[in-house]
Amino acid sequence: MLISVGLAIVFGMMRVINLAHGEFLMLGGYAAIVATNHGVNIWIAMLLVAPIVVGIIGVIAERLIIRVLYGRMIDTLLATWGLSLFFIGLVTTIFGNTVNGIGAPLGGIAVGRYSISLYRLVLVGIAAAILVAIYVVLRTTRLGLLARGTMENPNMAAALGVSPPRVYAATFGVGAALTGLAGGLLAPISGVLPTVGAAYVAKAFITVISGGTAIMAGTASAASLFGTVNQLLTYLTTPVIGEAGLLAAAILLLRVLPHGITGKLFRGSL
Amino acid sequence: MFLHVTELSARYGRIPVLNGIELQVAAGEFVGVLGHNGMGKTTLLRTLMGFVPAQRGRIAFDDVDVTREPPYARARRGLGYVPQGREIFPGLSVRDNLRMGFAGRGVDERIDAILETFPRLTPLLNRRGGALSGGEQQLLAIARCLAGQPKMILFDEPTEGIQPSIIEELVVVLRQLHQRQGLTILLVEQNLEFIAELAQRVLLIQKGTILRELRPKELRQADVLNEFVGVGTDAG
């Protein structure tokens, strides 16, 4: 869910296929690691530094590249692929092609014979809080209203005095920031290397597409479904079968519900 | 002049649509533009709003040259637009459609004030814009435009596809906006009855050029209708 929520905004709302989504995640991880290594509190590094840095990078990318390509899907795809290669090359040059990481905070708690990472539990809470926060912003604030209206009909929004270029930049920036936040939060669990984005980007797209048009309800329901299938099969068999099961579930779901989960269920929701 | 258009030309690709339009609208005036399909009526309004770039000529609004300004900048200067086909935000509620037109504090008070003119919208506030009938959407499109407190409104065929009872309501609303609120209005229409009922003067557009100016009562004369509009005398 954490990985997909930024993409839900950029792809789900703006219909921009951002192949550099995984690299935004990777940059968030590095931003958190670098900040922590320079003495910044790990929570501030993960929750503030990572999203702010990647949000700024996102706004710059939107202004310099994405802006001139709206409505040109293939061109956007190629441009963001190039952007992703650029980020991978840049980070490899600076940090090398090795795994970097930071220690997970909070330690673990024992439940009988088992030990659970407290940080992983907190992550679940943070993911839920982020989802609620995005819902509240989109549903109740003027910024959320302008974003929803502009994505539905940019010309009409402009006729009402709204500047679509500004709304696009802000929305893309927020989507990038959320992806950076996810990268920062995942850094203590999985570590970060320059090519880590590739491991996540496919899952993120599968989740958002399977979710359907309602970006929040769709992403949350698809992430819950696929996460459950993946973890259950991984627990019962092997991680490889878990991944295969996730893909099979996505194919089956899109075969039965071509417009995604919210094309049939939760219609009209956000 | 509140709106002063000089030698305005515009084209879609290589096809010219507007050819040297000359148009002046005084503050508080209600001007109609009449013409057949494909004569450039909608393109004229879209060019005035900035959606179609002007190839030549000048558009001055409220004594400011807005020819090269983007649509949102013109809207912020007070140029309102009610487009053909209404273009309601279908996924937003009626209330949110109204809120899209207003960026300041006191939005609820503003909406309440607007609903006094459009009481039909009050019970629909929480319904999705896309779920309204064509007539209700037209009322919403006008109300949404008014939420931005425009100084002048460009109406593009508001009666298109609307049931007669709502058209009567539109006549009342537009007259009220013009006479009580003093709004300047430029109305593009094909409905002769409607335009004759409301406009103080009517411009005939043909092949992207303003051909002639008429008084509304002249629209009811058979020879004028046949010569310039090409329809029968049953228009009233």
Phi, psi at residue A110, to the nearest 5°?
Answer: -95, 130
Q: Which residues of A touch B80 (CB under 8 A)?
A: 159
Task: Tell me what pLDDT residue B104 has.
Answer: 67
Interface of chain B toward chain A, CB-CB under 8 angstroms = 49, 51, 70-72, 75-76, 80-81, 83, 87, 89-92, 96-97, 99-101, 103, 128, 144-145, 148
Q: Would you say residue B222 has pLDDT above 80? A: no
Q: Where are the domains of chain A?
A: 2-197, 212-270
Going by pLDDT thresholds of 50, 70 and 90, the confidence category of residue B232 is: very low
Q: Would you say residue B40 has pLDDT above 70? A: yes
Task: Tell me what pLDDT residue B154 has.
Answer: 96
Nearest of A23, A12, A70 to residue A209 by alpha carbon: A12
Task: Tell me what pLDDT residue B229 has.
Answer: 58
Judged by CB atoms within 8 Å, which residues 141-160 of A form the interface with B?
A: 142, 145-146, 148-149, 152-153, 155-160
Q: Would you say residue B231 has pLDDT above 60? A: no
Q: Are B72 and A164 in contact (CB < 8 Å)?
A: yes
Q: What is the mean pLDDT of residues B43-58?
A: 95
How large a percentage of chain B has pLDDT more than 90?
60
How many angstroms separate the CA of residue B132 from the nearest CA in chain A? 15
Report how far residue B232's alpha carbon sits from residue B226's, in angstroms, rounded to the nearest whole number.
7
Tell me the C-alpha to C-alpha distance, in Å, between residue A120 and each of A7, A44, A130, B216. Answer: 22, 17, 15, 74
Q: Would you say residue B172 has pLDDT above 80? A: yes
Report pTM: 0.85
Q: Would you say residue A266 has pLDDT above 50? A: yes
Query: Nearest Cβ partner of B103 from A158, A161, A268?
Result: A161
How large a percentage of chain A has pLDDT more than 70?
99
Task: Tell me what pLDDT residue B233 has.
Answer: 42
Report how far residue B113's alpha carbon sits from residue B143's, in angstroms, rounded to the nearest whole number.
10
For A5-23, what is each residue's pLDDT tens digit? 888 888 877 888 888 999 9
Helix (H) and strand (E) counts in chain B? 8, 10
Report how far residue A219's alpha carbon sits from residue A210's, in angstroms, rounded to the nearest whole number.
8
Q: Which DSSP letter does residue B226 get?
A: I
Q: Are B100 and A163 in contact (CB < 8 Å)?
A: no
Task: Tell me what pLDDT residue A268 has.
Answer: 66
- A116/B contact by beta carbon, under 8 A: no
Q: What is the mean pLDDT of residues A199-227?
A: 85
Burial of B116 (0-12, 13-18, 19+ CB in 10 A): exposed
Task: Tell me what pLDDT residue B155 has.
Answer: 95
Q: What is the mean pLDDT of residues A191-213?
A: 86
Report how far residue A88's alpha carbon sits from residue A21's, in angstroms, rounded to the nearest whole number.
12
Cβ(A148)–Cβ(B92) under 8 Å? yes
- A75/B contact by beta carbon, under 8 A: no
Q: Which residues of A touch B99 (CB under 8 A)?
A: 142, 145
Task: Tell me what pLDDT residue A101 has.
Answer: 80
Q: Would you say residue B2 has pLDDT above 70? A: yes
Question: Any long-range contacts for A73-79 (C-beta under 8 Å, 24+ apart)?
Answer: A73/A17, A76/A16, A76/A17, A76/A18, A77/A17, A77/A19
ipTM for the complex?
0.89
Q: What is the mean pLDDT of residues A235-249?
A: 90
Q: Are B100 and A160 in contact (CB < 8 Å)?
A: yes
Q: Which residue has the higher pLDDT, A241 or B226?
A: A241
Nearest of A205, A206, A225, A211 to residue A269 by alpha carbon: A211
Q: What is the mean pLDDT of residues A145-158?
A: 92
The DSSP secondary structure of chain A, one letter per residue, reads -HHHHHHIIIIIIT----TTHHHHHHHHHHHHHHHHHTT--HHHIIIIIHHHHHHHHHHHHHHHTGGGGTT-HHHHHHHHHHHHHHHHHHHHHHH-SS-B--PPTT-EEEETTEEEEHHHHHHHHHHHHHHHHHHHHHHHSHHHHHHHHHHH-HHHHHHTT--HHHHHHHHHHHHHHHHHHHHHHHHHHH-B-TTTHHHHHHHHHHHHHHH-S-HHHHHHHHHHHHHHHHHHHHHHS-HHHHHHHHHHHHHHHHHH-TT-HHHHSSTT--
Nearest of B72, B55, B32 to residue B217 by alpha carbon: B32
| Rg for chain B, CA atoms, rounded | 17
Q: Are A158 and B70 in contact (CB < 8 Å)?
A: yes
Task: Tell me what pLDDT residue B230 has.
Answer: 58
Residue of A nearest to B79 (CA): A159
Q: Which residues of B touch A143 (CB under 8 A)?
A: none
Q: Would you say residue B235 has pLDDT above 50? A: no
The SS3 call for residue B78 is coil
Q: Are B71 and A159 in contact (CB < 8 Å)?
A: yes
Judged by average pLDDT, the poorest of A114-118, B36-40, B79-83, B226-230 is B226-230
Task: Tell me what pLDDT residue B106 has.
Answer: 78
Q: Are A148 and B91 in contact (CB < 8 Å)?
A: yes
Nearest of B186, B179, B157 to residue B23 by alpha carbon: B186
Tell me the C-alpha to C-alpha distance, in Å, between residue B196 and each of A10, A266, B188, B215. Answer: 48, 48, 12, 8
Q: Are A148 and B49 in contact (CB < 8 Å)?
A: no
